[in-house]
Amino acid sequence: MHDIQNIEQKAKEIRRHIVKMIGKTQSGHPGGSLSCADLVAALYFDVMNVDPKNPQWADRDRFVMSKGHACPAMYAALAMKGYFPMEELDHLRELGSILQGHPYSGKTPGVDVSTGSLGQGLSVANGIALGGRMDNKDFYVYCLMGDGEIEEGQIWEAAMSAAHYQLDHVIGFVDYNHLQIDGTIEDVIGNVNIDGKFAAFGWNVLTVDGHNIAALLEAIETAKATKGKPTVIIMNTVKGKGVSFMENQVGWHGKAPSAEQVEQALKELGE
């Protein structure tokens, strides 16, 4: 049985950490971190088979944060899981910190793949899945992409190879919040029909409310039951979800909240 309520609480806690972390260091990307917090909570507190005491365990499931700028959500989850002390969250983006501005496997326990330059994570996820399959392992590779990110051509190179090599242990997610730095994804370059594009590349495509934990878990189970092809789960989300003044605001892509804004946000997030 899934403990939906617990995952929802974890998601809320992740959101609080996101706001606090970015507020403290006065730098980072709150909008896209908040929009994916529910998925990150579902993965780390239900779905993924991981061992925080043994981050390099060969049979672990992997999470590739391809939209690397949303790493505050991941860092919060990793700290809450016990990969490193909670105090580290106070040092996001500081000189010498284990928490770099974008995920870096060389410094952060629990980060399997270094990302940040958009468009690369899905290819890396495919490589991990190929390696697992060669070793007859059964772990899954979860790869989170941004809806702006998939404007990168390499995503479609990787979409082609995942289908060609029948990587059914790659499960992709698109954080479909409709906003990128310069505006809506529709206005910037007309990146529409995302589900149709993945379907045309040979993927199993599911669409869910990305803030509905039960729906997310069900979609992931459907993905796991799908054999012979990769699955992508298009998550309809709200950028800045959970903080009223950030929701659906393009300006909150890469801006840090002031001390007062942090206070208000935390109130809304139940602290």
Partner 1 sequence: MNELIATRDAFGQALIDFSKDNKDIVVLDADLAHATMSCKFQEAVPERFYNMGIAEGDLIDTAAGLATTGKIPFACTFAMFAAGRAFEQIRNSVAYPRLNVKVCGSHGGIAVGKDGATHQAIEDLALMAAVPNMVVINPGDAVEMRAAVKAMIEYDGPVYVRLGRNPVPVVFDEKTYHFEIGKGIKVREGKDVTLVATGALFDVANKAAGELAKIGVEAEVINIATIKPLDKALITESAKKTGRVVVMEEGIIVGGLGSAVAAALSESCPVPMRYIGMDDCFGQSGDAADLMEYYGMSVENTVKKVKELL
Positions touching partner 1 (CB under 8 A) are: 58, 62, 104-106, 112-117, 119-121, 123-132, 134-135, 153-154, 157-158, 160-161, 164-165
Which residue, 25 or 126, has its beta carbon nearer to partner 1?
A: 126
Q: How far, in Å, CA of 179 to CA of 224, rounded?
A: 29
Helix (H, G, I), strand (E, B) or coil at 165: coil
Which one, 116 or 202, has the nearer CB to partner 1?
Answer: 116
- For the bound state, the minimum distance from the C-beta of residue 153 to partner 1, rounded and expressed in Å, comes to 8
Q: Which is nearer to partner 1, 130 or 238 (CB)?
A: 130
Find the farthest-apart pair of alpha carbons in the chain and give their distance in angstroms, rounded.
52
| Minimum separation from the CB atom of position 220 to partner 1 (A) | 20
Smallest distance from the beta carbon of 38 to partner 1, in angstroms? 26
* Bridge partner list, 144: 65, 173
State the minimum distance, in angstroms, from the CB of residue 161 to partner 1.
6
User: H or E stretch including 211?
Assistant: none
The residue (of 48 and 124) whose beta carbon lies closer to partner 1 is 124
Q: Which is nearer to partner 1, 105 or 258 (CB)?
A: 105
Alpha carbons 100 and 27: distance in angstroms, whole number: 11
In angstroms, give the least distance from the CB of 96 to partner 1.
17
Nearest C-alpha neighbor of 74 from the set 115, 124, 122: 115
CB 30 within 8 A of CB 19: yes
- Measured distance CA(181)–CA(12) in Å, rounded: 25
